Amino acid sequence: MPQQAQYHKTREAVSRLGPEQYRVTQQDGTERPFANAYWDNHEPGIYVDVVSGEPLFASVDKYDSNSGWPSFTKPIAKTNVVERKDSSHGMMRTEARSLHGDSHLGHVFTDGLPDKGGLRYCINSASLRFIHLDDLENAGYGEYRTLFTSDTNTDTDDK
């Protein structure tokens, strides 16, 4: 099973990034809406940092915000997503970064689903790697299968 200490940013991991992944995660970029890998992904699984592999979001918390980017109501573990003030582009926003990979993920907005806490984690697909529910065990994330059981989750569809 993965341990928190195993998640970290390395030069090798950064060198494996594609140009768009590098621009988004390392240079605080934003990918185009509706033209990214996961905005319309409805498969069950988790999303991990493309650089460090740390678990960030689960499909059970993903919903269609009509923004063109993957949107989540909450992270798997709040401690893995660091929130920072962002005043770039002439506006005040809250940036979301991964704790161990220090990857720029996207932004957090307060226009999310009211019955799920009201937050919208608007995340760039380029900063994520999706691991399907069926592959969690083999990929070393088997402990996250519990996110998809009816005992721990009553809302399993991607809205």
The single-letter DSSP state of residue 130 is E
Specify which residues 102 forms β-bridges with. none
Residues designated catalytic: 122
Residue 113 has a CB neighbour count (10 Å cut-off) of 15
**Cβ atoms of residues 121 and 75 within 8 Å:** yes
Three-state DSSP at 10 gives coil
Q: Which residues contact 12 (CB under 8 A, 6 or more apart)?
A: none
Instruction: Give dist(CA 64, CA 43) in Å, integer.
Output: 13
**Cβ atoms of residues 90 and 105 within 8 Å:** no
Helical H segments across the chain, by residue range = 11-15, 19-27
